[in-house]
Amino acid sequence: MGKYRLAVISGDGIGPEVVAEAVKVLKKVGETYHHEFEFREVLMGGAAYDACGTCFPEETLEICKQSDSVILGAVGGPKWDSLPGDERPEKALLKIRSGLGLYANLRPAIMHRALSEACPIKQEIIGDSFDIMVVRELTGGIYFGDRGYRTGRYGEEAFDTESYSEFEIRRIARIAYDTAMARKKKLVSVDKANVLESSRLWRKIVTEMNAEYPEVEVSHMYVDNAAMQLVRNPGQFDVIVTSNMFGDILSDEASMITGSIGMLPSASLGEGAFGMYEPIHGSAPDIAGQNKANPIAAILSMAMLLRYSFGLKEEADAVERAVTEVLEAGYRTADIAKAGETATGTKEMGARIVDRI
């Protein structure tokens, strides 16, 4: 029996709807396995901007730091798109990741057998199934580098900078090697070392560290090739490790080949057990408030929370099993339903999963 304090950032768009279902799932886990989860709602993103004039209130970071982990829905939307870059909801997300020291983002892309028909790639390419873990560096690289405007030869110029230190590469590579050790021991490091200096350092360090993990078979792939290989033969990948921007892009691609981005969870981790857990999808303002969103990514994020931050393996398995059972029973939210199939709403999907825990 444990007691856990969670900060909850519902955020914008469909964020509050999917987080509500995720919270119900945790409450049911608490009842069934005798744990106490305490939830504290905090504001970030557009919702925070509307309520207090900033997307990232100071109090939010403080409360998150005092919690055992953070649950996040999604932030952003057209309403706040015209804010200056530094004040946007997306910037708040970058700031909280960095403020909490969450430099490693784990994004599993697993195809559920029951959903193989939603997969946009031909059956003969996909094979039986695939199970990829994208390990994305989350607090460095071009999303955090020097940026700005300057006057160049042809007038105004804008620039962003990609930069990685040995320290940053080493710590994310360690997470990737450890992850690979717990899986099929195959690691692909993705970079653009044929062009970028930062990628050459990345490759050198990942290669050196192989000496500490002789059992891991490591290889290197340029990002353009990796993007192609993911749709050509996804089954070849086990763990992928890559920079912040490449990981942002490749994890969306990897998620789409599973059938729907609405299915995939993520964990952001640093040193220690603390983490932030969020679906990898965005705020989907077009379907917000309509009970249409798929809550499964948020719910599976709770399984990751239970597993990675709280070490509750049995409970995590129970959540994942409940999701599989509901899919096998044929329930589908609109994003994963076939044409003509009746779609299950967000709340009903959540309730059916809760029932099976």
The residues carrying an active-site annotation are 143, 192, 224, 248, 252
Site membership for ligand IPM, residue 267 (CB under 6 A):
no
Which listed option, ligand IPM, Mg ion, none, makes contact with residue 23 (CB within 5 to 8 Å by class)?
Answer: none
Residues contacting residue 338 through CB under 8 Å, at least 6 positions apart: 117, 118, 332
Per-residue tokens: 304: 């990751």
How many residues sit close enough to ligand IPM to count as binding (CB under 6 A)?
A: 5
Q: Which CB atom, from 105 or from 198, has the smaller least distance to Mg ion?
A: 105
Which listed option, Mg ion, ligand IPM, none, makes contact with residue 93 (CB within 5 to 8 Å by class)?
Answer: ligand IPM
Q: Which CB atom, from 55 or from 206, has the smaller least distance to ligand IPM?
A: 55
Residue range at the interface with ligand IPM (CB under 6 A); choices 52-60, 87-95, 255-263, 322-330? 87-95
Q: Which amino acid is at 188?
A: V
Instruction: Report the C-alpha gap between 147 and 208 in whole angstroms.
Output: 31
Per-residue tokens: 21: 């279902």
Q: Which CB atom, from 218 or from 276, has the smaller least distance to ligand IPM?
A: 276
Q: How far is CA 346 from CA 287, 318, 324, in A?
A: 11, 20, 16
How many H helices and E strands in the chain?
Answer: 12, 12
Residues contacting residue 199 through CB under 8 Å, at least 6 positions apart: 191, 192, 193, 243
State the nearest-atom distance from the C-beta of 264 to ligand IPM, in Å: 11
Cβ-closest position to Mg ion: 248
Residues contacting residue 176 through CB under 8 Å, at least 6 positions apart: 135, 187, 189, 206, 239, 241
Q: Which of residues 88-107 bind ligand IPM (CB under 6 A)?
A: 90, 93-94
Considering only residues 68, 191, 248, 335, which one is a binding residue for ligand IPM as defined by CB under 6 A?
248
Q: Which CB atom, from 94 or from 343, has the smaller least distance to ligand IPM?
A: 94
Angle at CA 180, nearest 5°, toward 175 and 186? 135
Instruction: Report the C-alpha gap between 84 and 275 in whole angstroms.
Output: 29
Contacts to Mg ion by CB under 5 A: 248
State the nearest-atom distance from the C-beta of 43 to Mg ion, in Å: 22
Contact residues: ligand IPM, CB under 6 A = 76, 90, 93-94, 248
